[in-house]
């Protein structure tokens, strides 16, 4: 009898799990179940459809119908899993017509993801508070712009908040971003780096209020304004970018344990505490490569990597997930911003003593026309002098610099080794002394 | 009495040595001696002035006159060192007026570089065979174009040869490249990757003849044509890009030992066999990080890193040079080409058994407009499964991918670790699965 693999969720984590399972076991029956109408699209692309860079929301559908056929995957959309029965090894579902079904499994992969979250603020039951999590969310925002929205308030200055703010401003709206914490991108950048991003966004015309919590939603049935830091701000469009919460209720109800991050606890094979049940993606916990502590990084790259590991294991193979560094990057107008490992602030919270090295340089030889600025901040653990984090921003070539430092962190490179590193150079492509290496030299000077 | 440091050569290696020496010893007397009229310019920028991307040759002068004053460096241009007397610890010089001088040293740094080389081909004494090594060489080529040259033959398809060929074609010349070996960029790329570069150049209209040695220079006093592979090719302009030879005669005459690469043998402090005499840059040998064998990589990045180490040591400090990987990159039209570590062919010559992993992907999410192609080839040592080399080409973001793999090689990352690596992603900046990671996966499949 073929192995039955059931996957709850059909985006990055779920689909990479399904693909890996299929490659591991050619005969398994693999079923993907999602509540959404569309499966296998890129959430990360949503702001760029709104901004107009990507022509259509349908372009984001990474896995077309033919993929499921080719890979022999059964996809059930608009179908809700109502219960996981780990004793019976089955899930109970209900589809949009109300039809219920019990689907047995040999291996179960929970990839239920996370949902946009609006804190318990007075008036949050009012209509018109739009998140940007699903394709339908994106279509609603797009429709509101087409219907004539001229002003917007984006609540939250994380990655999604800022990417959406930029997209709205590119569509001609007057945009205000409200952030409770005293800086933009608080999970990604230290205050010194965040300040530069904030100033850049302000210069582009986005109004940014940091250190101001949203206190109330105003309006009768529909929201027409907010109160933040005592100030009233009216707008046509209200984007909820406060953050996301892992969808764990189904797992909790089934007796599957959560970890200290309140997401599903997993081991290196992405197994939960229940035999033959795996968890991956935004709902799953993993280990931070630097701190070796539980962490949850709700990133597409983590989702696909975890999905692959769980898929192999669920199909009878053997694979380990070696942890996360939280490498992430974004593009805001012409500025690329990236991070890997710990920020200075995160290191402090983890009680790691650090020194930092920061440098501003150019992306090409300074005499080569078109050179763009680039700024590198390295975070170094003080005693063993290992690199544990980097924040980089610039006009180009940020992503792969983040990857380069990520590799260095993963291989426990010391700041002395980095200051000696062999790098590539050509006048149209970089400076003779690579900015990462110069930043290492700056950190070293503080350690001498 | 202040320490007297004499540096022969005043480009990348010499000037970085001088800067590092000054930072190490505030009171030393530091003298730089160069035969050239201009010191401290970027040779790597020369093709891009000819191509028109950089407005003027003077833009390439990285170290202005004010730098020597600020750093208290004595610079002697158009001055030739005729002898190194290691017994007396002095160098003998003659300037352009014929005036001789004996300059004593406590530490001597030899940064005599390398010179363009034309093999002993029949007729090479004829006029009009132009190398592209010095600023004056660049000016001569530029003048020849301004004087109406319409056709050019570039002899040699290494980095300088191809960059110059592209530059000449961009200036409107009909260009033929002749290469003795059966592929372009033979020191940099494997044949499979080189073929793609060759086809791209041919599509741009450059005529490329590989596997054809230049057999004769034709013409009376001035060269008007060559014979290569039995075929006669006439042209208005002849560029000698056969390669360079290290300038070691001065050192050899002084009893300074050469290594097996026929360049000056050095240890990790960049010391030669003679006490207080250092050698750096294109004339100096160093150790390859992968093979741990002597090697010479005539690259600007190596020159500045070696210069810095020698400068610190020569001034009484302590610094080590940890070896080279030969990381290099270039831009030919819109294609960036990079390498680090060993090619498959170089590994074979070093008797290292390898497997490779090659992948073609995109530089942005495939649904994001403007995504450019990128191709990654990884070279992996078979038994320990460590990465030992990479060749990457693509429309953007090649340089820092080379650096990322360079860091991985330097930290002895295995291909399994790379296939698990944490990388950054955003739709406008890269694919979810980083191409380097996918190439690692391809190599792993061959190892299973």
Q: For residue range B341-390, what is the model confidence (pLDDT) as tens digits?
A: 999 999 999 999 999 999 999 999 999 999 999 999 999 999 999 999 99
Q: Cβ of A331 and B424 within 8 Å?
A: no
pLDDT of B448 strictly over 90: no
Give residue A54's pLDDT.
97
| Residues in chain A within 8 Å Cβ distance of B322 | 417, 420
Instruction: Determine how many CB atoms are found less than 10 A away from the CB of residue A390.
Output: 29
Q: Cβ of B427 and A42 within 8 Å?
A: yes
Q: Among B192, B200, B194, B146, which Cα is nearest to B173's?
A: B146
Which chain A residue has its CA at the smallest distance from B403's CA? A423
Q: Give the Cα separation of A426 and B112 in Å (integer).
A: 22
* Dihedral (Cα; A221, A224, A228, A232), 10-degree rounding: -120
Q: Cα Rg for chain B, rounded, in angstroms? A: 23
Confidence of residue A253 (pLDDT cuts 50, 70, 90): very high
Q: Cβ of B397 and A397 within 8 Å?
A: yes
Q: Mutating which of B303, B404, B422, B423 best tests the A interface, going by the most A Cβ atoms within 10 A?
A: B422
Average pLDDT over residues A347-354: 97
**HSE-CB for B224 with a 13 A CA cutoff:** 3
Q: Give the Cα separation of B183 and B379 in Å (integer).
A: 19
pLDDT of B7 strictly over 90: yes
| Superfamily of structural domain B328-447 | FAD/NAD(P)-binding domain (3.50.50.60)
Is there a contact between A407 and A400 (Cβ–Cβ < 8 Å)? no
pLDDT of A448 strictly over 90: no
Q: Give the Cα separation of A166 and A200 in Å (integer).
A: 11
B432 CB within 8 Å of a chain A CB: yes
**Strand pairing report for A114-116 and A244-246:** antiparallel
Confidence of residue B224 (pLDDT cuts 50, 70, 90): very high
Which chain A residue has its CA at the smallest distance from B49's CA? A368
Helix and strand numbers (H, E) in chain A are 12, 25
Q: Provide the whole-model pTM.
A: 0.96
Angle at CA of residue A206, ends A205 and A212, nearest 5°: 145
Biggest CA pair distance of chain B: 70
| Residues in chain B within 8 Å Cβ distance of A328 | 424-426
Chain B contacts in chain A segment 14-73 (CB below 8 A): 42, 44-45, 48, 53-55, 59-60, 62
A4-115+245-314 fold: FAD/NAD(P)-binding domain (3.50.50)
Q: Cβ of A329 and B55 within 8 Å?
A: no
Distances (CA, A) of A18 to A23, A29, A42, A399, B47: 9, 10, 16, 28, 51
Nearest to A421 among B320, B410, B423 (CB): B410
The length of chain A, given as a count of residues? 448
Q: What is the per-residue pLDDT across B393-407, written as a single tens digit (0 to 9) for each?
A: 999 999 999 999 999
The length of chain B, given as a count of residues? 448
Give residue B151's pLDDT.
98
Instruction: Determine how many CB atoms are found less than 10 A away from the CB of residue A448.
Output: 4
| Residues in chain A within 8 Å Cβ distance of B406 | 404, 421-424
What are the helix (H) ranges across A95-190?
135-146, 159-170
Could you tell me which residues are beta bridge partners of residue B332? B335
Provide the CA A115 distance to its chain's centre, in angstroms: 12
| Residues in chain A within 8 Å Cβ distance of B302 | 422
Nearest to B403 among A321, A396, A434 (CB): A434
| Residues in chain A within 8 Å Cβ distance of B404 | 400, 403-404, 406-407
Chain B contacts in chain A segment 321-360 (CB below 8 A): 321-331, 336, 338-340
Nearest to B411 among A368, A398, A413 (CB): A413
DSSP 3-state percent helix, strand, coil across chain B (nearest 5)? 30, 30, 40
Angle at CA of residue A192, ends A188 and A195, nearest 5°: 85
Q: Give the Cα separation of B247 and B268 in Å (integer).
A: 21
B403 CB within 8 Å of a chain A CB: yes
At B87 the three-state DSSP class reads coil
Q: Cβ of B433 and A62 within 8 Å?
A: no
Q: Give the Cα separation of A412 and B412 in Å (integer).
A: 11
pLDDT of B219 strictly over 90: yes
Instruction: Determine how many CB atoms are found less than 10 A away from the CB of residue B287.
Output: 18
Type and span of the H or E element at A50: helix A46-50
User: Which residues does A5 contact at the CB level (< 8 Å), separation at least 6?
Assistant: A18, A21, A25, A28, A29, A30, A31, A105, A106, A107, A108, A109, A311, A314, A315
Is there a contact between B428 and A48 (Cβ–Cβ < 8 Å)? yes
Is there a contact between A236 and A149 (Cβ–Cβ < 8 Å)? yes
Q: Among A114, A113, A116, A138, which Cα is nearest to A46's?
A: A138
**Residue A225 backbone zone (phi > 0: left; psi -120 to 50: alpha; other: beta):** beta
Could you tell me which residues are beta bridge partners of residue A164? none
Q: Give the Cα separation of B311 and A363 in Å (integer).
A: 27
Q: In Å, how far is A217's CA from the nearest CA of chain B? A: 32
Catalytic residues of A: 44
Q: Give the Cα separation of B199 and B184 in Å (integer).
A: 10
Burial class of A244 by CB neighbour count within 10 A (0 to 12, 13 to 18, 19+): middle
Q: Give the Cα separation of A240 and A133 in Å (integer).
A: 10
Average pLDDT over residues A188-198: 98
What is the average pLDDT value for chain B, to the nearest integer?
Answer: 97
- DSSP, residue by residue, A204-233: TT-EEEES--EEEEESSSB--EEEETTEEE
Q: What are phi and psi of A347, to 5 degrees?
A: -65, -40
Q: Cβ of B304 and A53 within 8 Å?
A: no
A420 CB within 8 Å of a chain B CB: yes
| Residues in chain A within 8 Å Cβ distance of B324 | 422
Q: Kindly list the strands in the beta sheet with B151-155, ordered across the sheet, starting from the edge strand earlier in the chain.
A: B129-131, B237-240, B151-155, B174-179, B207-210
Provide the number of CB pairs (under 8 Å) joining chain A to chain B: 230
A118-242 fold: FAD/NAD(P)-binding domain (3.50.50)
Is there a contact between A385 and A408 (Cβ–Cβ < 8 Å)? no
Nearest to A424 among B338, B417, B430 (CB): B338
ipTM, two decimals, is 0.96
Q: What is the per-residue pLDDT across B254-307, written as a single tens digit (0 to 9) for each?
A: 999 999 999 999 999 999 999 999 999 999 999 999 999 999 999 999 999 999
B392 CB within 8 Å of a chain A CB: no
Q: What is the per-residue pLDDT across A109-119, written as a single tens digit (0 to 9) for each?
A: 999 999 999 99
Q: Cβ of B425 and A299 within 8 Å?
A: yes
Is there a contact between A161 and A177 (Cβ–Cβ < 8 Å)? yes
Burial A152-176 (b: 16+ CB within 10 A, else e): bbbbbbbbbbbbbbbbbbbbebbbb
Which chain A residue has its CA at the smallest distance from B309's CA? A420
Q: What are phi and psi of A142, to 5 degrees?
A: -60, -40
Q: Cβ of A44 and B426 within 8 Å?
A: yes
Q: What is the per-residue pLDDT across A365-401, written as a single tens digit (0 to 9) for each?
A: 999 999 999 999 999 999 999 999 999 999 999 999 9
**Strand pairing report for A237-240 and A129-131:** parallel
Same fold, A118-242 and A328-447: yes
DSSP state of A150: -
Average pLDDT over residues B234-238: 98
Q: In Å, how far is B397's CA from the nearest CA of chain A? A: 6
Q: What is the per-residue pLDDT across A42-81, written as a single tens digit (0 to 9) for each?
A: 999 999 999 999 999 999 999 999 999 999 999 999 999 9
Is there a contact between A158 and A185 (Cβ–Cβ < 8 Å)? yes
| Residues in chain B within 8 Å Cβ distance of A399 | 397, 400, 424-426, 429-430
Q: Cβ of A368 and B327 within 8 Å?
A: no
Q: In Å, how far is B124's CA from the nearest CA of chain A? A: 31
Q: Give the Cα separation of A279 and A294 in Å (integer).
A: 14
Q: What is the per-residue pLDDT across B167-216, written as a single tens digit (0 to 9) for each?
A: 999 999 999 999 999 999 999 999 999 999 999 999 999 999 999 999 99
Catalytic residues of B: 44
A428 CB within 8 Å of a chain B CB: yes
Q: Cβ of B427 and A365 within 8 Å?
A: no
Give residue B150's pLDDT.
98
Question: Would you kindly state where each structural domain of chain B is located, as residue ranges?
Answer: 4-115+245-314, 118-242, 328-447
């Amino acid at each position: 009898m073929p192995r039955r693999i059931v996957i709850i969720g059909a985006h990055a984590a779920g689909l990479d799990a399904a693909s890996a399972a299929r490659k591991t076991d050619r005969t398994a029956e693999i079923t993907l179940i999602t509540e959404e109408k569309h499966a296998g699209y890129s959430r990360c692309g949503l702001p760029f459809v709104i901004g107009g860079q990507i022509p259509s929301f349908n372009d984001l559908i990474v896995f077309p119908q033919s993929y499921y056929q080719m890979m022999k995957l059964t996809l059930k959309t608009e179908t809700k899993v109502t219960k996981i029965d780990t004793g019976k090894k089955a899930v109970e579902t209900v589809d949009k017509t109300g039809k219920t079904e019990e689907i047995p499994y040999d291996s179960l992969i929970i990839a239920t993801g996370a949902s946009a979250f609006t804190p318990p603020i007075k008036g949050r039951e009012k209509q018109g508070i739009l998140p940007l999590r699903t394709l339908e969310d994106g279509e609603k925002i797009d429709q509101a712009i087409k219907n004539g929205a001229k002003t917007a308030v984006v609540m939250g200055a994380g990655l999604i908040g800022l990417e959406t703010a930029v997209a709205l401003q590119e569509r001609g709206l007057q945009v205000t971003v409200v952030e409770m914490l005293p800086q933009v991108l608080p999970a990604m950048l230290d205050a010194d780096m965040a300040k530069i991003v904030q100033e850049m966004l302000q210069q582009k015309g986005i109004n940014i209020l940091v250190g101001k919590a949203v206190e109330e939603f105003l309006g009768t049935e529909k929201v027409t304004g907010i109160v933040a830091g005592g100030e009233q701000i009216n707008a046509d469009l209200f984007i909820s970018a406060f953050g996301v919460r892992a969808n764990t209720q189904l797992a909790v109800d089934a007796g599957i344990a959560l970890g200290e991050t309140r997401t599903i606890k997993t081991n290196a094979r992405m197994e939960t505490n229940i035999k033959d049940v795996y968890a991956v993606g935004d709902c799953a916990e993993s280990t931070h490569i630097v701190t070796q502590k539980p962490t949850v990084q709700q990133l597409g790259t983590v989702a696909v990597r975890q999905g692959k590991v769980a898929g192999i294991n669920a199909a009878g193979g053997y694979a380990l997930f070696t942890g996360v560094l939280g490498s992430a990057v974004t593009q805001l107008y012409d500025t690329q911003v990236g991070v890997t490992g710990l920020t200075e602030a995160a290191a402090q919270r983890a009680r790691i003593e650090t020194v930092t090295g920061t440098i501003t340089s150019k992306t090409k030889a300074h005499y080569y026309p078109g050179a763009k600025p680039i700024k590198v901040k390295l975070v170094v653990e003080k005693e063993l002098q290992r690199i544990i984090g980097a924040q980089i921003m610039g006009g180009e070539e940020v992503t792969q610099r983040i990857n380069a430092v990520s590799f260095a962190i993963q291989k426990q490179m010391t700041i002395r080794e980095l200051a000696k590193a062999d790098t590539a150079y050509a006048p149209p492509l970089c400076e003779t002394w690579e900015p990462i290496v110069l930043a290492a030299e700056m950190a070293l000077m503080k350690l001498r």
